[in-house]
Amino acid sequence: MPKITYIAFDGVEHAVDVPVGWSVMEGAKKNNVPGIDADCGGGCSCATCHVFVEPDWRARTGERNPIEDATLEFAENVVPNSRLACQIKVTDNLDGLVVRMPESQR
C-alpha cells in the first residue's frame, strides 16, 4: 500500500499507508492527519485541502485541473506546486509521496 508523508506547517510529519484509489485528502482525513479540513468532502470547492507537492513528485502527481485551478484562487500562498489533495488520486506510483501543508491550515 502506498505510503504518503504529510508534513504540517510546524514540521511535524505523519507517514500513513493509503489504499490505491483513495485521494490524498482521504488518506489524511481517514488517518486523522491534522491540517486538512476538507470542508467540502472532496468536491473541489473549499480549498481547505491545499497541499504543496514536493518538487520531485510533481511529475507523478500531474498538474492541476481547471476546476482545481479556479478553487485555488480562494486559497492563500498558492505556488506552482500547490494542489488540492482531494484531486490527487493515490496509485502505486505515488508510494513515498511527500506533501506539505500551508501555514493557513495549521
Binding site for ligand FES (CB under 6 A): 25, 38-40, 42-49, 71, 84, 86
3-class DSSP string for 17-38: ECCCCCEHHHHHHCCCCCCCCC
Residue number with CB closer to ligand FES (7 or 28): 28
CA distances from 16 to 30, 35, 38, 60, 97 (A): 10, 14, 18, 19, 10
In whole angstroms, the minimum distance from the beta carbon of 20 to ligand FES comes to 19
In whole angstroms, the minimum distance from the beta carbon of 88 to ligand FES comes to 10
Rg (CA), the chain: 12
Instruction: Report the distance separating Cα 106 and Cα 78, nearest Å.
Output: 16
Q: Which residue sits closest to ligand FES, CB atoms considered?
A: 86
In whole angstroms, the minimum distance from the beta carbon of 55 to ligand FES comes to 21
